[in-house]
Amino acid sequence: MTNNLFTSYSIITYGCQMNINDSERIAGFFDEKGLKEAPAEKSDIVVINSCSIRQSAVDRIEGKIRKLRKIKNKPLIIVTGCLLEKDRKKLSPLADHVLPITLVSSWPLPFLKKENIPFFNLSLKRSGPTAYVSIMTGCNNFCSYCVVPYTKGREFSRPATEVIKEVKEAIKKGYREVWLLGQNVNSYNGGVDFSKLLKEINKIHGNFWLRFTTSHPKDFSDNIIFTIKDCKKVTNYLHLPVQSGDNAILEKMNRPYTAQDYRETVKRVRREIPDIALSTDIIVGFPGETEKKFRNTATLFSEIQFDMAYIARYSSRSQTAASEMEETVSEEEKRRREKILVEILKESSLEKNKPYKGKKLRVLVTKESKKKGFLFGKTEGYKTVLFEGSKELIGKFIKAEITDYSSWGLKGKISRK
């Protein structure tokens, strides 16, 4: 099947879980063509699956290509993934090819014969103990800071039948965690709505957790809250990006809800599911974010008491509406604001982790720790647990007794019962 020019490949993935999942399809496809996965230094082809959500992500790709150029083997370097036109042009002279990811089956490589296979029809080669299942691509929300509608295009939902088939296959293979992915899963429309999709997957026979990201506060209905509550396999964990706690900034971000709406949504969620773990995304230093406006974010942030948060410094991206707005917050000030939120998060996550001490929890073992003989796992609320155990346990559920906690996670020991 293969050719003597290319026998091995390596994929370097940046960015979110969707990119991880997309890389798993490229790997599946290349394997089918007879190539072998290998470390970058020993590969004939290196594919960089990129992310351009912030400028720093693009800079990192540039640095990576320069490094790869120094490899003795001189691999063919292909850049693909989530890129703006401008970044594609910038990376073109550095890479051998810059190619669209969804057209991988017709990339101009000698061992491919331009088959035009739809991306989601390519088989997957999963890279970890979580079965990621993309249920939709693209985004129609056009948050003013965000590149996704430009890099990934408009929203497209995969048919529910196709999604359910993929989930069933994963369960049959023994995966204990299914993670549904989309930029805005609450607006899923693949023949059924998102709640119905969760209910259908929840009915599939087997012992597994069902997670999903990302939810948008504007679409977070009672229907979905009750679905999470009622479906046993759907985990008590919710990632609900707030982005800002200031109404004027939310409006400029084109996020159609207020800080009060967000607070009420969280209240409704916690009333129905009291032990739900809640995480969020926040951007600091958006154009026009004065000290007072930032304080509104900090107040909401400490009030809600998140279990986890991803705090980002605003990065202007070309093509987006916000790139036309004048930047008013210096990099230094962005860092200061970021630090303030990190301190608040440290306190809230510590408080949230505290009650787990002494409890016995179900944990999905995810990977080896750098500490010899130790493993990492995740609880239902997506908290990291460090414990002693052998690597054969990866991908399995265990019971762990929690012996200690910190802001960033839990420590435990395997419990027989």
Q: Give the binding site for ligand SF4 (CB under 6 A).
A: 139, 141-143, 146, 148-149, 183-184, 216
Cis peptide before 214 (omega within 30 of 0): yes
Type of residue at 77? I
Residue type, 109: L
Nearest distance from C-beta of residue 241 to ligand 5AD, angstroms? 4
Stretch that binds ligand 5AD, among 43-51, 307-315, 382-390, 398-406 (CB under 6 A): 307-315
C-beta of 25 vs 239, nearer to ligand SF4? 239
Q: CA-to-CA distance for 301 and 36, rounded, in angstroms?
A: 47
Contact of residue 389 among ligand SF4, ligand 5AD, none (CB under 5-8 Å per partner type): none
Contacted by 171, from ligand SF4, ligand 5AD, none: CB < 5 to 8 Å by type: none
| Interacting partner of 53 out of ligand 5AD, ligand SF4, none (Cβ under 5 to 8 A depending on kind) | ligand 5AD
Matching residue, tokens 């420590």: 411
Tokens of 377: 């796992």
> CA-CA distance, 335 to 316, in Å (whole number)?
15
Residue 63, C-beta contacts closer than 8 angstroms, at least 6 positions apart? none
Binds 149, which of ligand SF4, ligand 5AD, none (CB < 5 to 8 A, cut-off by type)?
ligand SF4
What is the C-alpha end-to-end distance of the chain, expressed in Å? 51
Q: Which does 252 bind (CB under 5 to 8 A by kind): ligand SF4, ligand 5AD, none?
A: none
User: CA triplet 43, 46, 51: central angle to 5 degrees?
Assistant: 150
Is residue 349 involved in binding ligand 5AD (CB under 6 A)? Answer: no
Rounded least distance, CB 232 to ligand SF4, Å: 29
Out of 54, 158, 216, 293, the only residue in the binding site for ligand 5AD (CB under 6 A) is: 54
From ligand 5AD, ligand SF4, none, interface partner of 142 (C-beta below 5 to 8 A by class):
ligand SF4
Residue with Cβ nearer ligand 5AD (29 or 145): 145
Rounded CA-CA distance 97/75 in Å is 12
Site for ligand 5AD in 105-144 (CB under 6 A): none
Least distance between ligand 5AD and beta carbon 292 (Å):
21
Cα dist. 213→183, 233, 262, 281, 370 in Å?
7, 15, 17, 12, 28
Interaction between residue 314 and ligand 5AD (CB under 6 A): yes
- In the chain, count H helices and then E strands: 11, 18
Which contiguous run of DSSP H or E holds residue 293? helix 291-304
Q: Tell the smallest beta-carbon distance from residue 148 to ligand 5AD (Å).
A: 8
Binding mask 275-294 for ligand 5AD (x = CB under 6 A): ------x-x-----------
What is the separation of C-alpha 347 from the centre of its chain, rounded to a whole number of angstroms? 24
Which window, 6-14, 38-46, 108-116, 311-319, contacts ligand 5AD (CB under 6 A)? 311-319
Q: Does 53 bind ligand 5AD (CB under 6 A)?
A: yes
317 vs 378, which CB is nearer to ligand SF4? 317
* CB of 254 vs ligand SF4, minimal distance in Å: 8
CB under 5 to 8 A by kind: which of ligand SF4, ligand 5AD, none does 184 bind?
Answer: ligand SF4
Residue environment code for 333-372, b if the CB has 16+ CB neighbours within 10 A, otherwise e:
bbeebbebbeebbeebbeebbeebeeeebebbbbebeeee
Instruction: Give ∠ CA 165-168-173 in degrees, rounded to 5.
Output: 130
Q: Which residues bind ligand 5AD (CB under 6 A)?
A: 53-54, 145-146, 241, 243, 281, 283, 312, 314-315, 317
